[in-house]
Structure 1
C-alpha cells in the first residue's frame, strides 16, 4: 500500500453515503492475536455489507498496455477497495501489529494473519471438540447445566468457524444422556422432526421432572420390599424341626 494513502481511514461522512458505515463494529475490539477469529469474523461481516470482502481473498489484477477498458476499470476498483480495506484492517489492530502491517495490502495481510494465528485457532477447535465429545450427563446431575454446557461448546466452535447444524448438535446432546433418558430419546426421535437446542432443553427439563418422580418412591420402597421378601423366604426355606407331617 503506497505511503501517501496513510494508515488511518477517512472519517465516515453520512451525507455522502460513505463506505464502511459499519466501521464502528471493528472499532469495538482491536486485533491483538488471541481474538483473531472473532476479529476476522467481524471484519468479514463488515466488508460483506460493503461488497468489499473479495479483496481479502483476491489479489489486485495486473494490467498492461494491451488491457481493455473493462480490465483497467476492474483494476482501479480493486485497487481503491483494497486500499480502503487495508487502512481499515490496520487501524483496527493493536499498535504492535499496526507497525507490522502498516504498508501491507489487504490480501497479503490476510494471508500473513492466517499463518500467525490460525494454527492456534485450529488447536483450540480440537480442544473444544474433545471436551464436547467427552461431555456426558452423570446420573442425578442437572439436565439444565448439561445442555447449557454443551451449547457453550457449540457457540465457541462457531466463533472458531466450525459450525454444527441443528440436527447434528441435538444428536450429540442426546448421545450424552444416561440410560434414564432412553425412553425420552426414543420418543423424541419418533415424534420430533425439527427443533432447536433451547426447545430440546425445555423438553429435557420436563422429562427430568418425570424421572425424579419415578426414582424417589422406588428408592424409598426398595429396601422395605426387599427386606420383607427376603424375610419371607427365610421363614419358608430354613427348617425349624417343628414341621407338621
Structure 2
C-alpha cells in the first residue's frame, strides 16, 4: 500500500541493512522526532511506580513506556528482517540503538577519515566557478 505521508515514505524507503547505518539513523531521527518519541533514546528507562506514587510520577513513567514502545516499533519496522529478528526481544529502544551503534558505528570512523582526507586534498581547479568547488566540498561533508 502506497503511503502519502512524506515521513512514512522516508521510513519505508530507508531500511537498515548495515552499510547504510549513518543514513538510516539520520532518517530515523527525523521520523522519531516528528512522532514526538525521540526523547526516549536519550532518557534512561523509568521504572513503573507503585499505585501510591504521585500522579505526575506515574504519568511520566507511563508516557515513557508508551513512547518507548512506539520508538521500538519505528526502529524495528525500519530494519531488514534479519536485524529485526536479532533485536525484537530487547528491553528498550535505547538498548537497540546502543547495539546497532556497536555493530555499525565503526563505519562512522572510516567515513569521517575519508571525508577529512577529501576535504584536505581537494583543490579548486583554476578557471572553474566557485560554486562547483563548494558543491564538491559539501559532498565530502555529507552528514
Please classify the TM superposition score into its range, dividing by the shorter chain length: 0.7 to 0.9
CA contact (8 A) 2:49 2:61 kept: no
Other structure's SS at 1:88 match: helix
Distance 1:28 1:118 in 2: 21
Structure 1 pair 24–139 and aligned structure 2 pair: CA distance change class (3 A): closer
Q: Per-residue deviation at 1:60?
A: 2.2
Higher gyration radius (CA): 1
Distance 1:24 1:146 in 2: 32
Other structure's SS at 2:75 match: helix
Residue matched to 2:74: 88
Distance 1:43 1:68 in 2: 34
Structure 1 pair 21–70 and aligned structure 2 pair: CA distance change class (3 A): farther
**Is 1:97 aligned to residue 100 of structure 2?**
no
Structure 1 unaligned segments of length 5 or more: list them: 1-19, 160-245
* Structure possessing the higher relative contact order (Cα contacts under 8 Å, 6 or more residues apart): 2
Structure 1 pair 21–134 and aligned structure 2 pair: CA distance change class (3 A): closer
Q: Per-residue deviation at 1:115?
A: 1.1
**For residues 64-116 of structure 1, what are the alpha-carbon distances to aligned partners after superposition, in whole Å with 9 as ceiling and x for unaligned?**
43532211111111111111110111111011101111122211011111111
How many residues get paired? 136
Q: Per-residue deviation at 1:22?
A: 2.9
Other structure's SS at 2:24 match: helix
Structure-1-length-normalised TM-score: 0.51
Structure 1 pair 69–48 and aligned structure 2 pair: CA distance change class (3 A): same
